[in-house]
Amino acid sequence: MTRKVNVFWILYGMVLTVLFLLSSTDLIIKEEAAEIYPVSVIIGDASDENYVNFRKGMERAAVELNADVSFITLYEEGSEKQQRELILREQEDGSRALVVDPVESGWLVQMQKDRQISVPLILLNGERSEAAELERGTCITFDYHAMGRKLGEEILKAHTAGERICLLEGENPDMAERLFTRGLSEILTEAGSSERALQIPGGKDMGALLKNALGEEGKAVIAALSPGSLMQAAQLLSEEEETEKRVEGLYGRGNTVSLLNYLDKGVIAGICVTDDFSAGYLSVKAAVDLAENRSVRDMGYLESYYIRREDLRNEKYEKMLYPVE
């Protein structure tokens, strides 16, 4: 009897030990560690001001797809040298895919061709023709050229009296701005209105140059070619009543909350907006897929729209412009 009891207790102890090993350790059942994909996103700006919705989409994808995303801004806006250095640093630090909004076109594809970049590359806001040359990568972009054309059409539709059109450049024009400008200029030329247009360089003196261009008499329409120059112009018009009186309408492109507030207040008449949340989400998704050697389908151009003040309350645009994380 005593022996049986001893055997029972020994067996009981052994069962408990096995159960403990099963439940609390991975000695018997190996739990598969979730793989984390380090992805680096390197933009061409020194601040993330124009990437707020993009980051929201990026962060959503990071949580859903187990990606560890580093969002990196440059020390100095528009510096290709820094962008190159950061790309190499991130690759060396173990990034399995790079999402890059290049300050200039061409060199990034060349870096991949020269085998300096060995991880998949996702081009942001680039030209799709350039993405076709990528060996391992894809392109997430908007049709800035079409956006420029659309804005031009809307301006010509709303202002038929032959007012001057002041085109405000950004401080450091990037690829998106160049494509946008090309589209806008094409429309003005096609409509025979190019002589109405006056290009004003961006930078700190832009306000003074604009006021000078507006002159004492007559009215003008302003088309800002970058989100930065649109913001500068909106601030100027909201602060200076005299200048505002000489402007028939302020137009441009950009998605920041400040710009949308100016649109809501009526300082900006019309604006081209993009679905940045989707761009952020899709770029991280493409990065993870390519890191896993899965194929990524060509996404074409992502959606962009021209909106006015009344469209801000439209559910479709509200969801796109103020996405919930």
Partner 1 sequence: MRNMKKCCILLSSLLWLCMALWLTGCGSMEKKDEKKSIRIGVSLYRGDDTFINNIRGELEKCAKEYEQENGVKVNMDIQDAKGSQNTQNKQVERFLSLGCDVLCINPVDRTAASVMINKAMAAQIPVVFFNRQPVEEDMDRWDQLYYVEAEAKESAVLQGSIVVERYRENPGSLDLNGDGVVSYVLLEGESSHQDALIRTEWSVQTLRDGGVPIEKITGGIANWERSQASALMEQWLEKYPGQIELVLCNNDDMALGAIDAMDRTGISGICTVGIDGTTPGIEAVENGKLVGTVSCDKKKYAGAIFGIAASRATGQEIPPEIELEEGKYYRCPQQIVTKNQK
Binding interface with partner 1 (CB under 8 A): 36, 47, 59, 63, 68, 70, 73, 75, 89, 93, 325
Angle between the N-to-C axes of helices 52-65 and 276-291, in degrees from 0 to 180, rounded to the nearest 10:
40
Distance CA 312, CA 325 (A): 19
Q: Which of 248, 255, 257 is nearest to 272 (CA)?
A: 255
Closest CB to partner 1 among residues 19, 88? 88
Nearest approach, Cβ of residue 129 and partner 1 (Å):
34
Rounded CA-CA distance 225/151 in Å is 10
Helix ranges (H only) for 166-275 are 175-190, 206-214, 227-239, 241-245, 257-265
Number of Cβ within a 10 Å radius of residue 66: 12
Backbone angles phi, psi at 114, to 5 degrees: -80, 5
Cβ-based neighbours of 210, under 8 Å, separated by 6 or more? 166, 168, 200, 222, 233, 236, 243
Tell me whether residue 244 or residue 325 sits nearer to partner 1 (CB atom).
Answer: 325
The nearer residue to partner 1, 25 or 70, going by C-beta atoms, is 70
CA distance 325 to 315: 17
Shortest distance, position 224 Cβ to partner 1, whole Å = 22
The least CB distance from residue 68 to partner 1, in Å, is 5
Q: Exposed, middle or buried, 91 (CB in 10 Å: 0-12/13-18/19+)?
A: middle
Nearer to partner 1, 92 or 315 (CB): 92
Smallest distance from partner 1 to CB 36, Å: 7
Secondary structure, 3-state, 170-198: CCCCCHHHHHHHHHHHHHHHHCCCHHHEE
Shortest Cβ distance from residue 103 to partner 1 (Å)?
17
CB of 64 to partner 1, least distance (A): 12
Nearer to partner 1, 181 or 256 (CB): 256
Say how far apart CA 136 and CA 122 lie, in whole Å.
9
Q: Please answer whether residues 165 and 223 qualify as being in contact, where contact means their C-beta atoms are separated by less than 8 angstroms.
A: yes
Q: Closest CB to partner 1 among 55 and 285?
A: 55
Closest contact distance (angstroms) between CB of 244 and partner 1 is 16
- Cβ proximity to partner 1: between 73 and 243 the closer is 73
